[in-house]
Structure 1
Amino acid sequence: MSHPTLMVAPNGARKQKSDHPALPVTLDEIVQCAAECSDAGADILHLHVRNDDGSHSLDAGRYRETMAGVAEGVPNMPIQITTESGGIFDVHTQLRCLQDTRPHRASVSIREIARSPDLASHVYGFAKEACIDVQHIIYGLPDIAQYKHWVETAIIPETMNSMIFVLGQYTPPINARPDDLLPFLDATKNLSLEWAVCAFGQNELACAQHALQLGGNIRIGFENNLHLPDGTLAQNNAQTVALARALINEI
């Protein structure tokens, strides 16, 4: 059995400094956060970039600049970019982001790509051509059904078999519970997957522990949760990463 992977998602698309002063938004802040989280035990950085006003961006230039900054400041930390729409971008823009950035790793929401079914083959076809390691974002069981259909119809290559199950919800806020994972695992039990979990709310670490016990990987960070298990604000992303790393070390 391979060692579980700990990914950190330090900012996301929506939260602002008003939510937490340690939320990394600028290039320098993201690089510093990546270094701190790497030291605390994170294996991979899940990267969102922001516009100057703090809003969500899929700008390839911003991605390339930030990826270069992280590569220089934290050279041993792999990067996964997001193609999340954030309620702003269409599938054409998401595809262009991949084409113009050509990252080694990217997260792609099945649900969002399904908004333009005619573009799905282009998104996944380009990802295959560019050797992008795609992690499919799964918000619910319909996303798994869509994944299965696209694999059966050869839109998604069978080798593109990484998923992240999203527990809980951002808007309206629903705190995740460890048992929320079970329907996802049941729906994918006949698939050969590499899977991970991220969880909204202060039960984040409890959900992570449950996922680890069941053989999954985990994603931790301010994108999904700002709090420690006792409900107090975490000091920074590195603090929760260190707690998650301790859970892995207990396996």
Structure 2
Amino acid sequence: MLQACLNGARPLGSHPALPVSPAQLAADAAKVAELGVTALHLHPRDLVGLEVLAGPEVATTVSVVRAAVPGVEIGVATGAWIRPDPVRRAELVAGWAGLAAGRPDVASVTVHEDGWSEVCAALHQAGIGIELGVFHGEAARALAAAGPPPGTRRVSAGVRPGPDPIPRAEALLSVLEPLGLPVLLHGEDDTAWPVLGHAGRLELDTRIGLEDTLHLPDGTPARDNAALVTLARRTLRNLGVR
């Protein structure tokens, strides 16, 4: 699976084609779905472009995108940077149970954040799948010790910017793969393309989009999400991944 991560937490103005509004996200979702993407990861925003967990804004974004790409998995973020108070964060997520057509299919939960297990429990109770975000060895080991919470669909293993991305990816995988869950392996910024290629060689799920990188492998700015997905699919095909 190639997931498209369309906007992330990038600030307004960080890229001329960064989708922020529901309509912009829906337009980009339609373009990447035409290229074969079957899963999306979005960060819903309010009217001034700030990330939100409140039900009305989440529901608006999800329902508008879903209307544009019916049948595509829609995932959203629950990061602590959006709502630092872990109790309030779990309460807001629990409220997504009643969002009907605006309820996301899956939501990411970052394992090293305070209150991550409570957010997972709220998502499971709301009938929303869980994508566990793991970004370093300590978080991977904590997850291995605790075990995957009920409702977990996959682990998203992210390799942060810096040197030696492949050894760091392998270190994460050595802890996560024994859990028996599907692993989506991806990088960020300067690790995005090397790790995508490594995921392809290992036949693991991966992702690409303006959340993870603003550039093509040669360093030139990417035109938009569709350009990133087009090149990612070509890269994976050249590695024998269909």
Q: With structure 2 as the length reference, what TM-score do the two structures score? A: 0.87
Post-superposition offset of 1:164: 0.7
Q: Does 1:6 align with 2:7?
A: no
Separation of aligned partners in 1, 2:222 and 2:28? 14
Separation of aligned partners in 1, 2:33 and 2:163? 27
Query: What pairs with 1:37-76 in structure 2 (closer than 5 Å)?
Result: 37-76=32-71
Q: Does 1:210 align with 2:198?
A: yes
Post-superposition offset of 1:229: 0.4
* 1:105–1:132 CA contact under 8 A, matched in 2: yes
Give the corresponding residue for 2:101: none
Q: Mind listing any 5+ residue stretches in structure 1 that lack a counterpart? A: none
State the number of aligned residues: 233
* 2:51–2:82 CA contact under 8 A, matched in 1: no
Selected match of 2:22 from 27, 31, 37: 27
* 1:104–1:132 CA contact under 8 A, matched in 2: yes
Post-superposition offset of 1:161: 5.7
| Cα distance change on mapping 1:23 and 1:175 into 2, 3 Å | farther
Give the letter for the 1:177 counterpart: P
Separation of aligned partners in 1, 2:72 and 2:111? 26
Give the letter for the 2:38 counterpart: D
Q: Secondary structure at the match of 2:41?
A: strand
Structure with greater contact order relative to length (CA < 8 Å, sep ≥ 6): 1
Q: Indicate the percent of aligned positions where both proteins have the same amino acid.
A: 26
Q: Mind listing any 5+ residue stretches in structure 2 that lack a counterpart? A: 98-103
Give the corresponding residue for 1:133: 129
Post-superposition offset of 1:211: 0.9
* 2:144–2:176 CA contact under 8 A, matched in 1: no
Give the corresponding residue for 1:162: 154
Post-superposition offset of 1:125: 2.9
* 2:134–2:155 CA contact under 8 A, matched in 1: yes
Q: Does 1:193 align with 2:189?
A: no
Give the letter for the 2:132 counterpart: H
Separation of aligned partners in 1, 2:80 and 2:121? 19
Q: Secondary structure at the match of 1:57?
A: coil
Q: Does 1:227 align with 2:219?
A: no
Give the letter for the 2:207 counterpart: R
Q: Can you list the C-alpha shifts for 1:10-54, whole angstroms capped at 9, x where unaligned? A: 1112332x2111000111111101111111222111011112222
Quote the RMSD (CA, aligned, Å).
2.1
Q: Can you list the C-alpha shifts for 1:69-111, whole angstroms capped at 9, x where unaligned? A: 1111121322011111226532223212321223321111111
Separation of aligned partners in 1, 2:127 and 2:90? 15
| Cα distance change on mapping 1:218 and 1:95 into 2, 3 Å | same
